[in-house]
Every structure is written in structure tokens, then in C-alpha cells.
């Protein structure tokens, strides 16, 4: 039966228009260019000014690189009013948060203010998000503190530590800008949602644990970030706990959490949670100033230098061994900051239905960090909390960042002495309340419900961060995510397809209970591209299906299998190992007297089958547009063969009569 | 239009049987077990004796683990005659090759003979291939030589070097056996065909370069394996070249190559190339013995100890720092040897149409290397050349390995003195002629023609090996292969589908020139599972398609787009990022007044859409069995809407008339 002449096909009435064509040969250069374009310029960013000419084109190009030129000309007073309110709101959040996060990175508190001045101005010129508010973030701050702290002590070598922080920021900026320029933004996509949930939850837990130092009013603390070291450090110093500090901390924390909950319940109270940190700082400072608590063990920020950012260009370190440390820190924190910033930008763009170019955003982030590293700022990005406040406060354009920068500038020039009595415990409460919001147990529960593998990735990242270190957690999560993709490729599903009654459609028998199989014909769907990683598996799995089907037919229907149809609809890509596998499968089927038919192969499969001459071995006549066509040909031939057998049994002489 | 009530659907005549069902909930444990089984036991190895009972089952199980019990009971004399001939043929190849490859690994030549005695016996009991001939192989031999040689000199510390080689073999065996036992055999599949072609070609080139030492009769030689070091080493010693050696070498090489070419032309002359190495050894030894060339600068093997393998159990080193070196060497060489052995076993099984269980083979390889490491053997596997000779000589079962082992045993006991005068240059010629066959430029050319990416991977591996080192080449090639898979996942194709005339099929418009699109309806095919790595890309790409289609419709047809149909046929898997992407796409389309329809989603997509409640957002009524059904619903609704507009334009009073 397998040797049935292909000549039969002429009789099946398959029209030429329904044959699967071999795609026309394209030059290697064409294919290469179009693949390159699809990989690196999937959004075709230059489309918009391709049609323009001369001067207009130059203006459009300038507008492309400096989005401010796009929105500034049509900026109105009503926009400005909205941005002014939003800008002042985020500034009131930025000042206490900035100081807090700088402490988290073991950097002088004033750096938090510096970092809310220069980078927002740069972003306002280059960034394409209308809602993103620039500032420092907790997790990268903690990472800078822990990674640099392993080799250089912030307490013993403050100048070197500071220089390393600037250098790390510089490298982070260079990395971000180059990823954007090289259009490698998709690297950030390899941090999956599940990874980020687990990683952020873990990192927030770690940050919270670190805050216990401030809340308890401890002076000595472990430099490790893992749960066990921190708990050991805290409980070994029970006699050092300061009750004044604990009471103050818990009080402010309750206040902050209460405002958060309130503003979550009602959107119009958003300003409550936005204003609460600054209120806490003011109240805390007043309390300390009036009660002289600083002499009763409550630590305060102390003297903050007046004046704008000093230049830090000459402080950058470009010689080993310290450069390596800064480079490593910059790479890791840069990627994490980028992932957060891009995700935040994208989410708000989706809300307001405008488009953000990820690669362009990376260039903006990179530029603002490079500029920041030269002007005494450390790593900034677009934090979710601050951007959400910005959005809720009704910002219209990136001008709200400019307003925030101006507000911070005024603070730097005039108001820094006011922070002298701000107790550190208030800063710890501010961080704690922000971090508790990052532990997204609802998202983890959602993952558990929808996708168990994603949940494992998430928990892996969380455990890695909490019990190991932030770096370990990140590596675990990224590896797990990639492993998952590779496993998917290595073990694609193959399924038996059956005909859905009253239709030409063939679908999985296990998914559609009504689907009917055809006796003597096995229809197999292959659910993935055929690659080196799965070609051996697929070949063996196909033969196992065939053996099972032959067994079933022998036992149940006393017939045998004649045709094997592979539905290639989902085989969207194939490599040379896959092509060899097709060839070997064809040959092995021939040895078993089975005929192989292909249904619905895509462009790439047809092209490669043709180039490798495997098409000749399989036979172009055995390739069909749809599974239904292939099944039609099989049943036609089965009937013909039955008729022939009948003729043969009745003797050749009767042939003419039939 | 996007807000058209779903109530319309009732009128489109979609029968319930054609709805896409939500798969019944399966317990997590069930899914987990079936996934685990498909990943680790895709061939269902225990199927064959699941049905048996009691004693028979035990026998079947024993036969499963010791295939010899399966074939030995039915072994006949005619089988033995065939195996005897094949065994003697491969022994005549094994003896000179064994000695040559041992020299390549800087090990005493006698180890090559030892290694052709114990391992084949072990394999004969445990191996399931009928054609594989066990022996040492060139590339892992070279690797052992270069990796161990970097830290321990074979000349200065011969005992330590030998012990390290045994320990490396032991670790390689343990790795191979554990991969098999843990059913992780698919790791070997990650060495793609292209990788192996490039890697083997590079390694063969490197081995050939090393042979120049023997051919030129040099005594000092670089320990590096890269092209540049070797050429520098050779040309810096031009005055040391020995013409006797060069003449002998070239003569034997021509002889060996001539027999190879002859036996390639005619299959029945296969014994010519099989016997040529032993003939060369005999001729070369005679020549040296008669001409006393050993005193004219032609190096000879020298004294070989008589007797069988001594035990080497006590020589294994299990303490750092040397253990680490042996472990590393064992891991790398073990994997490479495994890849070759498995590929060889699979190829011949395919020729003769029997099945090989890759994981069981790994256990057999592991056991033979562990046994070998205890009896003074170094790493063995199933070399392609020797197995091909075995196959051509008509072997029937693994008994040919036993015959070879016996022949080698006789050699060890009685004939070793005969090799005293064998010139090293003959061994170099034997290696050279074997290696030239491994440089498979035809395969590389085939890759270039069929798949440019595979060709790049292949050339990358080749260049890595030749200009860097064997390890670098391997790492480059594996990384490139994996990167390719990840890129495929990160940048899946999306294409516009159109109706093939006279059918219900919708296919790519760029593949099928006759396919027709439907005005007002955009049908998009997504060519890959939706994962975290591509969900952002896909969302943006879908919107770019929509914008382009809207632009086209506005300019060409003065109409607008109303429906977007996503063909989910190739979306065989989805994770939580993918689910979020579907949700966001639905919402963004709604904002643009477009209706989203899904066609042909698979089990997993439906299950996860349902679990995450995104199904409710998209609407189960907007999900169709086929693209044709979805298009049918769209055109029905477009007509209804047109009719309604007509009614509205003519005033509500005329409604009854229409």
C-alpha cells in the first residue's frame, strides 16, 4: 500500500490551486535583511518620517530623538496647571523617599535629593512616557549597598565608596543606552512577569528586614541580606533595642499604611498616600526637635549640605580592581532598574492608549544615568509608586518631572537644614510601607491558579533572594525561565487529530470529545517547530503513536494502518536536524509499508524541504493544503485499493466489467 | 462596531458542536505526572512488560536491563559465523587504531589494546545496538591529552597522568550512567547536527595538525592545540624535519587514502579499508626491522608489556586538587563520547529498522567506562568508523564485540612483541586518514544551502575549535544553538492570512499568492507559543499590523477595519505573561472600537484563558473552531450592521418594510 503509485493522485481531483506552493527563492541578502529588521526593528521606528522629505524629515528625526520637541510646541497653560500639581505632589514624595533610599544604599542622604534633580530634567527631554516620574528605587539601591559593601566599607572608606557608586551608575547608564542603541531591548523581556513578581517580593522582604535595623534603633548590623543572617543579627542584640525608636517607627508605619489603604479604597484620596511620607518627615522632625529625642538614642539625619549637585566627573574610577566591582554592580542594577522603568512606562502607556518605544526609552534611561553619574547622582529609573502618584495627580506630559526637579532644587538651595532633626526611624517606616506594597501575594496566587510552572519560577526567585542573595535569586529565576522555554522546545506535544462532525476541521481528539478518527489513516498534529533539540524525540514519538494505533486497529477493528498524515500547521520553523528527521521518518515509514502525507506545511518548511531535496523523497504530490484534503486522498486510495483487491480476487478477466 | 452585541451570534447559525470546549479540569497531580512521563519517559520503556505477570514479568525486566538475555537464547550458528567474521575484521582495525589513539592522549600505547578488551565485553551484555563496535575515539583522546596535559606533564609525571586518565574515565562513566538512569538523555540532543559537524571537523583538523609531529618526526612539540601555535611550532623547527619519517608517512597515508576511496566507491571492497591499517602496521614494522630505520631517526613504539589488563582501582584519585581536573575532563569528554556513541547507535538502528533506547544505551556506556576505569582502560564509546566496518562485515549481534575482545586478548597475551618495531609515523598516518574522513565539507555545504543559521553555528564551532580550543568551540556552538532557539521564541512570525479560493482554508498571503483577504476583517496568524519572551513583541506587532491594515483600507478602499481574528492554531502553549498579553490586546482593541475574535485555540490556551478569567473578558462567543467560522460570523455581522444603517438612514418608520 505504501508503494501505491503517486499516479493515483491525478484521479483525486486535487486542483492545482490547492497545491502547496514552493516559495519563490529569495536572495540570501533579502532574507537576511528582513530577518534582521524583524529582530531589531520590529516596530519599524522610522516608518513615520520615511515619507517626509528634506527639512521636514530632519525635524521629524529630531522629534524622534528628542520627544520634547514633539509635545513642547503644542504645550498649553491648562497642561501646565495639571503638570504643576502633579509635579509638586511627586516632589513631596520624592524628597523623603530619595533620602530613605540613599540610606538603603549606604550613601549620604543628600544624594537622594541630588538624584531627583538632574535625571528628571534629562528624562523630560528624551523620554517618551507622559506618566513616568523619575527617581531612585529601593531594590537597586539595596543591591548597590550590598554589592559594593562586600568589598568596600561605606563607613571606613566613604570617598571610595561614593566614587564606586557613581562609577556603577555610569556603567549602568552606558549599558542601558547601548542596549537601546543596539536595539537589544528584548533582553529585558527575558525577565518574565513571574520572575519579576518573585524577585520583587523577595527583594522587598529583604529590604523590609534591613529596615528592622532602623526601627529597632540598632547601630551594628550584618552586611548580609539573607533572612537567616538578618534575624540572627537582630535577635543577638535584643538588649540593644531602643523602645523610643520602636514606638516612633511603629506609629509612623501605622499612619503610612492607614493612608495607603484609604487611598487604595478611594481613588480621589490618592493625595493622602502621596503626602503622607512628607507629613511623617515633618511631624517626626518636629517631634525630635521639641523632645530632644536625638540625645535619647533616636538617630537623626544630621547636617545636610546646602547647594546644588557638585560635579563628580573626576571621581569616576576606570582602573582595576575597583572598576570591575563597579562594572558588575552597574550591569546588574542597570538591568533591574531598566526592567522596572520599561514595565512602568509600558503599563501607563497602555492605560492612556499611546505607544512607547522600548529601545528609545532605554536610551533615555541610559542618558539620564550617565548625566547623573557626572553630577553626583546615583542610579535612577521610573519607580512604579511615584509614577502611579504622578498619573493619579493628573500629569499631562513629562513637564511634571521638570516641576519636581525645580521643587527639589529649591529644597536643595534653601530647605536642607530643615531635615537635620528628621529621625532615621521615620525613613525606615517610609521604606517599609513602600516595600510591603511590593510583596504581591495576590499575583503569586494568580500564578498558582493559572500556571504552575510560572508559580515555581516565581517562588524560586523569591526563595533565592530571601535565603541566598539578590543576585542568586535573579540567576535562579532567569535560568528557570529559559529552561522552561527549552523544555517546551525539547518536548513538544504530538496529538492524534480527528474530524469534527459536520466540518472539514481536524482537531485534537482529547480536546474535542466528538472528533472522529478515520480507519486506516493516522492524523498526527505536531505542536512545535522541529529543531535539533526535539527532532530525535519527535521521530521516536511519532513511531510510538504509529505502533499504538497499529495495535489498536489490529485488536479492535482487525484492519491495518496505511497512511500517516502529519499536520504541519504548527511547525512554523525547521532546521537541518528537523529536515533530516523528516527524511528518516519517510524512509522508516516506507520500510513499514506506510505512506507519509504532509498537510499545511508553512513557507519555511517547504523552502527547506525543497532546498535539501527531501521534497523529492517525500513527493510533492503527497503534500496537501489541509488535513481534510490529505484525508480525502487517503480514503479515495483506500477505496480504489479495495476495488482492485476485489478485481484481483475475482480474476483479471472480470476487470473490464467492473 | 466593536461594541456590537454578542447577541448577534445567535443568528449566525454556529452549532453548539462547533464551539471550542473548555477542557475539563484535571487535577494538578495528574497533569504533573503526565508531563513528567512525557518529559522523562517519552518512549514508555516499561510498556512491554506492563501486561505480563509474575515470573514472566521478572524475566522481561531482566531482559530489559540486560539485552543479551533477549538475543542469546535464540542465537544460532549462522549468526555466530557472521559475527566471527565481523569481529575479526574490527579487531584488525581496533589494534592499530587503539595504539594510535592512546598515543594521541599521551597515554602508553598498550592502553589502546586494554581498552579494546574489557569495555566491549561489558557493552555486549548491556548494549542494545546490534551494530555498534566499542573502542576508543580520536577527539576525546585528544581532549584528554590536552586537558590533562595543561596541568600534569605525561612525560614528567607518567604515573599521576595515568591515574588522572583513569579517574577521568571513571567520572565520564558515572556521568553517562547517571544521565541514563535519570533519563536526562535529551541533554545530548542539545548538541545539534550542525554543532557536531562543525565541532568534529574542527577537532579532526586539530588532530591532523597534531599528527604533523609524527609525520615530520619531531621530538618537541607545543602542548596547545590551536592552529597558530601548531604551525608556529612546526615551522620554527624546519631543520629538525626528518625526511625518512616524511617519506614513510606520506607513503602510508597515500596507501590508506587509496584503499578508503576504493572501498567508498564499491561497498564490497569495504574490507580493503578495514584491513589497510593493520597491513600498514605490519609493512611498516617489517620495513623498520629490516632497514634498522629506528636508528636513523624513525621513532618506534618500543616495548609493549605482555599480559591482560592490570587492575587500576587503587589508582583512582578522589582528592583535590587533581580530582577537579579529572572531573572536568571526564564531564566534557564523557558528553562528547556519549553524543558520538548515541548518534552511531541510532543511525544503524534506523538502517536495520530496530529501536534503540537512548537512555538505556547511556547506562551501557556508563557501565563499560566505569568497568574500564577499574581495569586500566581509558574512555571508550562507539566510534563511527569501526561500527561502519562492523555493519559492512555483516555483524548480527553484539557478539562481534566479544569476538573482537577475544582477538585483542590473544594479541595481548601473545603478540605484543610484534609491535616493537612499529614506526610512530605509521600510527600518525592511520590517524590522519581516519580524521580526513571526519572533515565533512559536504555536510557543511548542505547546511549552507538549506539553513544559513545552522551553517553559522557549524562554522562557529569549527573556528572555535581550530583557533581557540576544543572546549571553546563546543561552548560557542552550544550557546549559538540555544540562542537560536531563544531568538525563535523571542521573535515569532505573525502573518496576514487570506482565504484560498474554493476552500474554507485560510493561509499566509505571502506564501499563497491567490489567497484573498476580506474587507473589514484582519486575519492574523501567530506562529509560536506566547511566552514572556515574546508577549511584548507580539502585542506591539499585532498593533502594527492593525495600523498598517487601517491605513491601507483608508487609502485604497475608503472603508475601515471592524474585526481582528487571531488564528491561534500554532499557539500551542501560553504562560501567564501570554495570558496578560491577550487581556491587554482585547482591552486596547476595544478602545479602538475593534472586535477581537480567536480561532482554533488549543487545550492549554483555553484552559488558561478560563482559569485566569480572561475568557470572560474576551467572551466565549467570540472564540471559533476555525478561521472560516470566525470570518463567517464577521461577514454576517457586517451585513447586518449595513442593513441596520440602511434602516436608520431611511428613518425608523420604514423599518418594517425592509
Alpha-carbon distance of B626 to B642, in angstroms, equals 25
| One domain for residues A517 and A602 | yes
Residue with cell 473548555: B22
Show which of A443, A471, A486 is a domain's final residue. A486
Higher pLDDT, A562 or B388: A562
Give the chain A residue nearest B543 (alpha carbons). Answer: A43
Query: What pLDDT was estimated at residue A599?
Result: 92
Contact B572 A17 (CB under 8 A): no
* Domain annotation covers residue B271: yes
Show which of B485, B519, B548 is a domain's final residue. B485
Task: Residue B580: list chain A partners with CB under 8 A.
Answer: 193
What are the pLDDT digits (tens) for A182-208? 888 777 777 777 888 888 888 888 888
Q: Where are the alpha helices (DSSP H) in A560-657?
A: 576-591, 603-611, 614-618, 627-649
Longest dimension (CA), chain A: 121
* Domain annotation covers residue B290: yes
> What is the reported pTM?
0.79
* Domain annotation covers residue B45: no
Alpha-carbon distance of A336 to A191, in angstroms, equals 9
ipTM of the complex: 0.80
| One domain for residues A481 and A497 | no
What are the pLDDT digits (tens) for B587-614? 889 988 999 999 989 888 998 899 888 9
| One domain for residues B177 and B278 | yes
| One domain for residues A332 and A355 | yes
| One domain for residues A263 and A136 | yes
Chosen for mutation from B351, B357, B443, B533 (greatest number of chain A CBs closer than 10 Å) is B533
Indicate the DSSP class of residue A465: I
The fraction of chain A above a pLDDT of 70, given in percent, is 94
Give the chain A residue nearest B571 (alpha carbons). Answer: A570
* Domain annotation covers residue B24: yes
Contact B573 A451 (CB under 8 A): no
Query: What pLDDT was estimated at residue A651?
Result: 61
Mean pLDDT of chain A: 84
Query: What pLDDT was estimated at residue A6?
Result: 41
For residue B342, give how far its alpha carbon lies from the nearest alpha carbon of chain A (Å): 11
Provide the number of CB pairs (under 8 Å) joining chain A to chain B: 245
- Give the one of B355, B484, B490 whose C-beta lies nearest to A189's C-beta: B490
- Give the one of B503, B603, B626 whose C-beta lies nearest to A508's C-beta: B603
Tell me what percent of chain B is helix, strand and coil, each rounded to the nearest 5. 70, 5, 25
For residue A539, give how far its alpha carbon lies from the nearest alpha carbon of chain B (Å): 11
* Domain annotation covers residue A69: no
| One domain for residues B145 and B12 | no
Contact B602 A508 (CB under 8 A): yes
For residue B597, give how far its alpha carbon lies from the nearest alpha carbon of chain A (Å): 18
Structural domain total, chain B = 2
- Give the one of A454, A489, A579 whose C-beta lies nearest to B576's C-beta: A454
Query: What pLDDT was estimated at residue A306?
Result: 84
For residue A291, give how far its alpha carbon lies from the nearest alpha carbon of chain B (Å): 52
Closest C-alpha among B123, B191, B192, B180 to residue B387: B123
| One domain for residues A497 and A473 | no
Q: What is the dihedral of CA A646, A652, A653, A656, to 10 degrees?
A: 70
**Is pLDDT at A103 greater than 80 in this prediction?**
yes
Would you say A230 and A450 are in contact if contact means Cβ atoms under 8 Å apart?
no
Contact A572 B529 (CB under 8 A): no
| One domain for residues B319 and B378 | yes
Query: What pLDDT was estimated at residue A535?
Result: 87
Residue B610, domain CATH: 3.30.750.24
- Give the one of A450, A502, A576 whose C-beta lies nearest to B576's C-beta: A450
- Give the one of B453, B504, B591 whose C-beta lies nearest to A353's C-beta: B591
What is the DSSP track for A225-253?
-SHHHHHHHHHTTGGG--HHHHHHHHHHH
Alpha-carbon distance of B458 to B269, in angstroms, equals 32
What are the pLDDT digits (tens) for A360-413? 889 999 999 999 999 999 999 988 878 888 888 888 888 999 999 999 999 899
* Domain annotation covers residue A626: yes
Alpha-carbon distance of A576 to A584, in angstroms, equals 12
| One domain for residues B481 and B555 | no
Task: Residue A452: list chain B partners with CB under 8 A.
Answer: 28, 31-32
Task: Residue A339: list chain B partners with CB under 8 A.
Answer: none
Alpha-carbon distance of B208 to B187, in angstroms, equals 29
Closest C-alpha among A344, A102, A325 to residue A200: A344
Would you say B469 and B139 are in contact if contact means Cβ atoms under 8 Å apart?
no
Task: Take residue A94 and report the three cell numbers written for it.
Answer: 520624592
Query: What pLDDT was estimated at residue B273?
Result: 77
Contact A452 B186 (CB under 8 A): no
**Is pLDDT at A596 greater than 90 in this prediction?**
yes
Say if strands B521-526 and B506-508 run parallel, antiparallel, or are unpaired.
Answer: unpaired
**Phi, psi angles (nearest 5°) of residue B498:** -135, 165
Task: Residue B184: list chain A partners with CB under 8 A.
Answer: none
Would you say A627 and A523 are in contact if contact means Cβ atoms under 8 Å apart?
yes
Show which of B433, B467, B485 is a domain's final residue. B485
Any bridge partners for residue A522, and if so which?
Answer: A564
| One domain for residues B296 and B442 | yes
For residue B24, give how far its alpha carbon lies from the nearest alpha carbon of chain A (Å): 9
Say if strands B521-526 and B595-599 run parallel, antiparallel, or are unpaired.
Answer: unpaired
Indicate the DSSP class of residue B557: I
For residue B539, give how far its alpha carbon lies from the nearest alpha carbon of chain A (Å): 11
Contact A536 B508 (CB under 8 A): no
Contact A577 B626 (CB under 8 A): no
Query: What pLDDT was estimated at residue B657?
Result: 43
* Domain annotation covers residue A66: no
Query: What pLDDT was estimated at residue A48?
Result: 66
CB atoms within 10 A of CB A418: 14
Cα–Cα separations (whole angstroms), residue A444 to A264, A449, A480, B376: 20, 9, 16, 55
Closest C-alpha among B369, B427, B432, B405 to residue B103: B427
Query: What pLDDT was estimated at residue A309?
Result: 85
Q: Which residues contact B120 (CB under 8 A, 6 or more apart)?
A: B133, B134, B135, B368, B401, B402, B404, B405
Q: State which H helix or E strand residue B567 sits in.
A: strand B563-567
Q: What is the dihedral of CA B513, B515, B521, B526, to 10 degrees?
A: -70
| One domain for residues B194 and B336 | yes
Alpha-carbon distance of B329 to B168, in angstroms, equals 6
User: Roughly what angle, to the nearest 10 degrees, separates helices B470-490 and A470-490?
Assistant: 80
| One domain for residues A259 and A375 | yes
- Give the one of A503, A527, A572 whose C-beta lies nearest to B18's C-beta: A503
For residue B39, give how far its alpha carbon lies from the nearest alpha carbon of chain A (Å): 6
Give the chain B residue nearest A189 (alpha carbons). Answer: B533
For residue B640, give how far its alpha carbon lies from the nearest alpha carbon of chain A (Å): 25
Q: How many residues does chain B have?
A: 658
Query: What pLDDT was estimated at residue B566?
Result: 94
Query: What pLDDT was estimated at residue A18?
Result: 67
Task: Residue B497: list chain A partners with CB under 8 A.
Answer: none
Q: What is the mean pLDDT of each run of 10 residues along chain B (658 residues)?
A: 41 54 76 78 69 77 83 87 88 86 88 92 91 90 87 87 93 93 80 82 85 80 80 84 83 89 78 81 87 77 83 83 89 89 83 80 93 93 85 86 92 86 84 81 87 87 87 82 80 88 85 85 90 86 89 85 92 87 90 91 88 90 91 90 79 49
* Domain annotation covers residue B588: yes
Alpha-carbon distance of A491 to B619, in angstroms, equals 31
Would you say B552 and B523 are in contact if contact means Cβ atoms under 8 Å apart?
no
**Is pLDDT at A1 greater than 80 in this prediction?**
no
Enclosing domain of residue A511: 6-28+492-656
Contact A502 B531 (CB under 8 A): no
Would you say B196 and B339 are in contact if contact means Cβ atoms under 8 Å apart?
yes
Chosen for mutation from B34, B356, B511, B588 (greatest number of chain A CBs closer than 10 Å) is B511
Amino acid at each position: 500500500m505504501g508503494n501505491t503509485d503517486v499516479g493515483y493522485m491525478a484521479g483525486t481531483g486535487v486542483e492545482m490551486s490547492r497545491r502547496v506552493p514552493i516559495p519563490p527563492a529569495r536572495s540570501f541578502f533579502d532574507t537576511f535583511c528582513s530577518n534582521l529588521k524583524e529582530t531589531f526593528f520590529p516596530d519599524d521606528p522610522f516608518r513615520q518620517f520615511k515619507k517626509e522629505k528634506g527639512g521636514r524629515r530632519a525635524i521629524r528625526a529630531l522629534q524622534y530623538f528628542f520627544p520634547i520637541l514633539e509635545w513642547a510646541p503644542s504645550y498649553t497653560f491648562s497642561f501646565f496647571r495639571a503638570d504643576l500639581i502633579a509635579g509638586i505632589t511627586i516632589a513631596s514624595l520624592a524628597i523623603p523617599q530619595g533620602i530613605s533610599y540613599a540610606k538603603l544604599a549606604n550613601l549620604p542622604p543628600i544624594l537622594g535629593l541630588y538624584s531627583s534633580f538632574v535625571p528628571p530634567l534629562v528624562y523630560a527631554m528624551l523620554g517618551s512616557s507622559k506618566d513616568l516620574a523619575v527617581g531612585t528605587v529601593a531594590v537597586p539601591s539595596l543591591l548597590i549597598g550590598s554589592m559594593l559593601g562586600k568589598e568596600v566599607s561605606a563607613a571606613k572608606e566613604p570617598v571610595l565608596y561614593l566614587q564606586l557608586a557613581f562609577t556603577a551608575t555610569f556603567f549602568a547608564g552606558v549599558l542601558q543606552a547601548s542596549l537601546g542603541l543596539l536595539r537589544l531591548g528584548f533582553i529585558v523581556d527575558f525577565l518574565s512577569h513571574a520572575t519579576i513578581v518573585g524577585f520583587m517580593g523577595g527583594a522587598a522582604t529583604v529590604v523590609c528586614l534591613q529596615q528592622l535595623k532602623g526601627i529597632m534603633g540598632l547601630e551594628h548590623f550584618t552586611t548580609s541580606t539573607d533572612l537567616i543572617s538578618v534575624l540572627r543579627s537582630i535577635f543577638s542584640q535584643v538588649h540593644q533595642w531602643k523602645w523610643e525608636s520602636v514606638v516612633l517607627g511603629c506609629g509612623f508605619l501605622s499612619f503610612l499604611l492607614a493612608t495607603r489603604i484609604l487611598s487604595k479604597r478611594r481613588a480621589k484620596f490618592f493625595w493622602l498616600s502621596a503626602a503622607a511620607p512628607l507629613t511623617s518627615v515633618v511631624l517626626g522632625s518636629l517631634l525630635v526637635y521639641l523632645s530632644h529625642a536625638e540625645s535619647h538614642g533616636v538617630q537623626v539625619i544630621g547636617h545636610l549640605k546646602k547647594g546644588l549637585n557638585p560635579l563628580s566627573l573626576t571621581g569616576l574610577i576606570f582602573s582595576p580592581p575597583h572598576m570591575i566591582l563597579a562594572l558588575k554592580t552597574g550591569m546588574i542594577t542597570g538591568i533591574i532598574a531598566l526592567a522596572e522603568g520599561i514595565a512602568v512606562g509600558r503599563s501607563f502607556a497602555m492605560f492612556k492608549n499611546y505607544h512607547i518605544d522600548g529601545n528609545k526609552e532605554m536610551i533615555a534611561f541610559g542618558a539620564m544615568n550617565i548625566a547623573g553619574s557626572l553630577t553626583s547622582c546615583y542610579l535612577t529609573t521610573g519607580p512604579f509608586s511615584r509614577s502611579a502618584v504622578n498619573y493619579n495627580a493628573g500629569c499631562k506630559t513629562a513637564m511634571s518631572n521638570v516641576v519636581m526637579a525645580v521643587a527639589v532644587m529649591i529644597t536643595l538651595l534653601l530647605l536642607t537644614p530643615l531635615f537635620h532633626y528628621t529621625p532615621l526611624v521615620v525613613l525606615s517606616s517610609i521604606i517599609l510601607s513602600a516595600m510591603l506594597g511590593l510583596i504581591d501575594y495576590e499575583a503569586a496566587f494568580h500564578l498558582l491558579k493559572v500556571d504552575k510552572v510560572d508559580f515555581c519560577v516565581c517562588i524560586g526567585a523569591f526563595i533565592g533572594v530571601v535565603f541566598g542573595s539578590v543576585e542568586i535569586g535573579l540567576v535562579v529565576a532567569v535560568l528557570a525561565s529559559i529552561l522552561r522555554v527549552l523544555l517546551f522546545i525539547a518536548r513538544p506535544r504530538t496529538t492524534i487529530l480527528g474530524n469534527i462532525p459536520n466540518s472539514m476541521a481536524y482537531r485534537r481528539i482529547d480536546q474535542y470529545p466528538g472528533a472522529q478518527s478515520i480507519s486506516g489513516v493516522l492524523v498526527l498534529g505536531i505542536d512545535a517547530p522541529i529543531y535539533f533539540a526535539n527532532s530525535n524525540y519527535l521521530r521516536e514519538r511519532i513511531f510510538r503513536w504509529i505502533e499504538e494505533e497499529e495495535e489498536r486497529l489490529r485488536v479492535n477493528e482487525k484492519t491495518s494502518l496505511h497512511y500517516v498524515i502529519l499536520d504541519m500547521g504548527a511547525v512554523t520553523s525547521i532546521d537541518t536536524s528537523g529536515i533530516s528527521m523528516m527524511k528518516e521518518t519517510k524512509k522508516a515509514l516506507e520500510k513499514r509499508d506506510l505512506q507519509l502525507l504532509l498537510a499545511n506545511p508553512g513557507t519555511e518548511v517547504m523552502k527547506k524541504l525543497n532546498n535539501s531535496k527531501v521534497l523529492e523523497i517525500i513527493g510533492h504530490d503527497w503534500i496537501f493544503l489541509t488535513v481534510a484534503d490529505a484525508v480525502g486522498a487517503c480514503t479515495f486510495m483506500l477505496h480504489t485499493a479495495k476495488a482492485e483487491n476485489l478485481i484481483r480476487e475475482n480474476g483479471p478477466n472480470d476487470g473490464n466489467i467492473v
